[in-house]
Amino acid sequence: MKNALYLGKVSGIRIFVHWTFLILIGWIVFSNLNRGLGGTEILWSVAFILTIFGCVTLHELGHALAAKRFNIVTRDITLLPIGGVAQMESIPEKPKEELIVAIAGPAVNLVIFVLLFFALPGPQSAGGAMDIQHIGPGNFMYALMVVNMWLALFNLIPAFPMDGGRVFRALLAFRMERTRATRIAAGLGQILAMGFIFLGLFYNPFLVFIGLFIFLGAQSEAEQTQTKSLLKGYTVHDALLEEIPEMAPETSIRAAAEHLLHTQNKYFLVKNDGKPAGTLGRDEIIRAIGSMDDNAPVQQAMRAEVMYLTVDMPIEEAWNKMQREKQSFALVGSEDEVFGALDTDNIAEFVMIRSAEQSKKSK
């Protein structure tokens, strides 16, 4: 993830902290100063937040390590002020696997809660143990115990795509088709998200962020699942772009921009001696116009590492691969023989056509 500081690696998973995290720390220092607290007290509060985010990291590692058992790779974990995000290469599609992966996170917090519960003497022995507003050596561990209980409970709220919402979808998916299960779970997620936003306006601004995050997340995941189901059973061949506009490597940036403007084409194949040398997309052309000389050759602006897909590859797999490697254009075939290309706009059109066909059938 961009704008994030690398912290380290745990069993192959890189852990980052996003720069906005500093805002959270700043906010804690500021609000504590506002309440007239001194340096030591503020340090305790900051240490407390850092420890909580240590628990959040363990929570995300719980998901990641559970996913690993089902051969799903987690590229990295990023800590944001509203929580952690584990970037998995895919989401388990079998309901049983999704259930286990989703529950593994809150389970970690529950385990921490239980361990602290039995390890600590009764809260009566520590004065003000539950006073989270004033963190000090006397109540640090108690407060940590309580927070872990809340982390487990909060994440289990069935607001898809939060953990509880994933559990809910997995349970539904045992009995119905996955797309439908996702639609129902996402619908409930969005209703709860609006509740969060509403409550947040009165009580805690963080809830507003979390609500927005859930609302948008539910929508995009429901769309993704829908897209995946519409792509199922088709291969790259079915959505192949058969004609790819070509350019010579010495074509000027200005000429490429003219092509972009006066034709329907958005991606170009740069060919050198009859072999693909790179690809040039709208973004690269625009960037080059802003930073290079008009007469510079497109060779200097193109993407030299070309992605190749095979004709018989499932289109869903091709789409995943393009998303993973952040490519919006790929050639189909090999360096020696290019049959065509695939771009993300084209996949989107394919999905729209399939979706329209399906709604006609169900009428």
Token pair belonging to 215: 């609302």
Q: Are 244 and 341 in contact (CB under 8 A)?
A: yes
- 164 contacts Zn ion (rule: CB under 5 A): no
List 76, 97, 98, 163, residue binding Zn ion (CB under 5 A):
163
For residues 86 and 351, which CB has a smaller minimum distance to Zn ion in the complex?
A: 86
Nearest-angstrom CA–CA distance, 282 and 264: 11
**At closest approach, how far in Å is the CB of 49 from Zn ion?**
18
User: Angle of helix 178-202 relative to helix 205-231, nearest 10 degrees?
Assistant: 170
**At closest approach, how far in Å is the CB of 55 from Zn ion?**
11
Stretch of 18-26, 155-163, 182-190, 327-335 contacting Zn ion, by CB under 5 A? 155-163
Token pair belonging to 89: 């290469």
- 105 contacts Zn ion (rule: CB under 5 A): yes
Residue number with the shortest CB distance to Zn ion? Answer: 105
How far is residue 138 CA from its own chain's centroid?
38
For residues 105 and 281, which CB has a smaller minimum distance to Zn ion in the complex?
A: 105
**At closest approach, how far in Å is the CB of 309 from Zn ion?**
33
**At closest approach, how far in Å is the CB of 115 from Zn ion?**
19
For residues 163 and 221, which CB has a smaller minimum distance to Zn ion in the complex?
A: 163
For residues 163 and 343, which CB has a smaller minimum distance to Zn ion in the complex?
A: 163
Token pair belonging to 231: 């792509």
Q: Are 218 and 186 in contact (CB under 8 A)?
A: yes
- Other beta carbons within 10 angstroms of residue 250's beta carbon come to 11
Nearest-angstrom CA–CA distance, 49 and 51: 5
**Residue 59 CB burial class (10 angstroms; 0-12, 13-18, ≥19):** buried
**At closest approach, how far in Å is the CB of 105 from Zn ion?**
3
Stretch of 97-105, 121-129, 215-223, 268-276 contacting Zn ion, by CB under 5 A? 97-105
Q: Which residues bind Zn ion (CB under 5 A)?
A: 105, 163
